[in-house]
Amino acid sequence: DTEVTQTPKHLVMGMTNKKSLKCEQHMGHRAMYWYKQKAKKPPELMFVYSYEKLSINESVPSRFSPECPNSSLLNLHLHALQPEDSALYLCASSQDRSGVNEKLFFGSGTQLSVL
């Protein structure tokens, strides 16, 4: 299994809603990532978990809350988002965070629209 599975594929939410994005991998990878990508822009790193511990938080607003329940699962909890948060949210995994092993495998993404 060489896939990173993300759900849902599409999400429309209001600014007062609470929702969660989910990500799963069964490649035995020990690093998992959340990226945000706006149209015609490169992916922007949000969070990195390494061995189930949060290792990077790129000054992301607190309305985004990551969670790593185990080495295969990664969640992103969303609350009180703004319309400018509308974007493609990408989950990725890698074997670990040592440079030569940090080959990212991306999920298909969640296209999020905030109304």
Partner 1 sequence: QKEVEQNSGPLSVPEGAIASLNCTYSDRGSQSFFWYRQYSGKSPELIMFIYSNGDKEDGRFTAQLNKASQYVSLLIRDSQPSDSATYLCAVNIGADGLTFGKGTHLIIQP
Pick between residue 36 and residue 81 the one whose CB is nearest to partner 1. Answer: 36
Helices (H) and strands (E) in the chain — how many of each?
Answer: 0, 11
Q: Which amino acid is at 12?
A: V
Pick between residue 43 and residue 66 the one whose CB is nearest to partner 1. Answer: 43
Pick between residue 55 and residue 82 the one whose CB is nearest to partner 1. Answer: 55
Q: How far is the CB of 5 from partner 1 (least distance, A)?
A: 12
Q: How far is the CB of 80 from partner 1 (least distance, A)?
A: 26
Q: How far is the CB of 36 from partner 1 (least distance, A)?
A: 12
Q: Please give the C-alpha separations between residue 68 and each of 21, 49, 75, 102, in angstroms, as whole numbers.
A: 12, 7, 6, 18
Residues 6+ apart with CB under 8 A from 18: 77, 78, 79
Which of left, alpha, beta for 15 (phi over 0: left; psi -120 to 50: alpha)?
alpha
Q: How far is the CB of 29 from partner 1 (least distance, A)?
A: 13
What is the binding site for partner 1 (CB under 8 A)? 33, 41-43, 45, 48, 55-56, 88, 90, 97, 99-100, 102-109
